[in-house]
Amino acid sequence: MKLHESQFQGLWGPYFMKLKTIFIRAIAVSFITMMIGFIANCAQPVSFQQTAASLGSTASSTGTPSQYTTTTQSFSFGSGQTSGAVDILIVDDNSGSMQADEQHLATGFNNFISDLAGVDWQIAVTTTDVCADTDYACRGGSATFPPARGRLIGPADSASTTPFGTQYIMKPSTPNVATVFADTINRVTTSGQFLIGSGDERAIYAANLTIAGNNDPSVAQGLFRANAGLAILILSNEDERSCGNDPTCHNDPTNAPQYQPFAPDDYPQSLITSIKTTFGATKNFAVHSLIVKPGDTSCFGMESANAGDYGDTYATLTQMTGGILASLCDYGTGQYTQELSAISQSIRNTSQPVINLDHVPAEEPAITFNPPSNVTFTWAPGSDQLVLSSYPANTSVNVTYKYEN
């Protein structure tokens, strides 16, 4: 028997309505369950697998993004000096209060160069006096030694004839080198005259002038060799411009010239930038300070009688370059034995070839040599410097690393 549509709906309609209701409820429950699971999953940590090379970022395992950039830097090493060469510039505070300290350094010089046995070293001296020759207000009434302005000085007896010149670069082969150094640093002529420079001590400014004159035969040509390390030693019982960049000592316009605000080349960063700009990223360098260490009240008390002051600015520069911070007052038997021993050991390390990167790597860099080389490197986390095991002469080096933005 064939049922009419109206009869079919009459018989089965209620059952279809119940099934429809059950089906809709089942779909609703399934949808709600799915959404709860999705929301729960979204609340969990997510690990991103994006590469720095393509997207410029990665993410930590906790899901907090940390921005990184991957870069490759290229460096070229030429021929010439091999590992074990270092150039040493001593910036001497030649004001009138430094005579005893200079004598201590002169006495300890023999031990100092003995500790550098096997190192191909060069040593030259300039002074903290950067006054203009005719600026007598800057020089002071007692000045008897002409301003070096970054030039290399010679023994005291040469001051009246040829006070400056690259002929005063000392080497292991220099005859009677310890005597030459003593006559240079002590500033006492054979007639007994103690030669005095300006009281406006500006060691950083002076070193900037010496670096700038690296190709000038009247300043420092020949001192800075292309493939040698660089060590700078500041000897002073005061800070840059005597009291550093302390505004409390710059308030009185009647003060002496040294009590003035810093010029750009008085700041520590200026010297670091100058060295990197002038010599490139493969120059290994450090600045050491033999000063009144910040916070050393005992030494300050000893040196304040001679107008001494804490060397805060010089200490900052030393810390920025990884040098040795030594006390001017720890001269022991009069020769700075422990201080110069620590400095000489650091100078030995400075004679190793390095690569200075533009950024601090987040992890150990990858390095390739062209042509291939057996040279290895060491890197300390947190450092922007790679120390090479030997000098890779006539080699191009590529360093690839990731750094945090």
Selected from 3.40.640.10, 3.40.50.410, 3.40.50.300, 3.40.50.720, the CATH number assigned to the domain covering 85-351 reads 3.40.50.410
Nearest to 326 by CA among 65, 79, 104: 104
In angstroms, the CA 326 to CA 338 distance is: 9
Write out the two tokens for 363: 């992890």
Instruction: Identify the CA nearest to 110 among candidates 340, 291, 289, 350.
Output: 340
Task: Compute the average pLDDT of residues 99-108.
Answer: 94
Q: How confident is the model at residue 268 (pLDDT cuts 50, 70, 90)?
A: very high
Kindly report the number of other CB atoms within 10 A of residue 193's CB atom: 15
Structure tokens at 119: 């190192």
Predicted local distance difference test score (pLDDT) of residue 201: 94
Is 339 in contact with 349 (CB distance < 8 Å)? no
Residue 239 β-bridge partners: 242
Inter-residue contact 116 to 87 (CB < 8 Å): no
Amino acid residing at 59: A
Instruction: List pLDDT tens digits, range 327-346.
Output: 999 988 778 999 999 999 99
CB 189 within 8 A of CB 144: no
**Strand, coil or helix: what is 378?**
strand
pTM of the full predicted structure? 0.79
Question: Is pLDDT at 130 greater than 70 in this prediction?
Answer: yes
| Residue 156 DSSP one-character state | G
Run of H or E residues at 395: strand 395-404
User: In the chain, what are the domain boundaries?
Assistant: 52-77+355-404, 85-351
The tokens for 289 are 């300070």
Q: Please write the tens of the pLDDT for every residue from 178-232.
A: 999 999 999 999 999 999 999 899 999 999 999 999 999 999 999 999 889 999 9
With 90 as the cut, is the pLDDT of residue 299 above it?
A: yes
Kind plus residue range of the DSSP H or E element containing 124: strand 120-127
